[in-house]
Amino acid sequence: MEAAEVKEKGRITIPKEVREFLGIKEGDEVVFIKESPNRVTLLPRRKYDDPVSALYGSIKVGREIEHPKKAAREWIRKQSKKEIVK
């Protein structure tokens, strides 16, 4: 377990081992997720945190799609329903 001291204005230095483990580099953004009253998870913000954007271009089709993001959302919705039914 790594620790960091809170400095002026709430600033902390993320320990080197944690930065390397998460692949965080200078200039990257991080996300703080509130898990419970006493727990927060720190994650690097990736370029494609939006799942629709991450999947963009991954669906192979035989024709041009007029609204590709809408099609991707619909595909995700259908896949989610399949997982719930299982």
Is the pLDDT at 84 greater than 70? The verdict is no
CATH numeric code, 8-44: 2.10.260
Residues 18-51: tens digit of each pLDDT: 999 988 999 888 888 888 889 988 888 876 556 6
Rounded to whole angstroms, how far apart are CA atoms 44 and 23? 8
Helices (H), the chain: 16-22, 51-55, 68-85
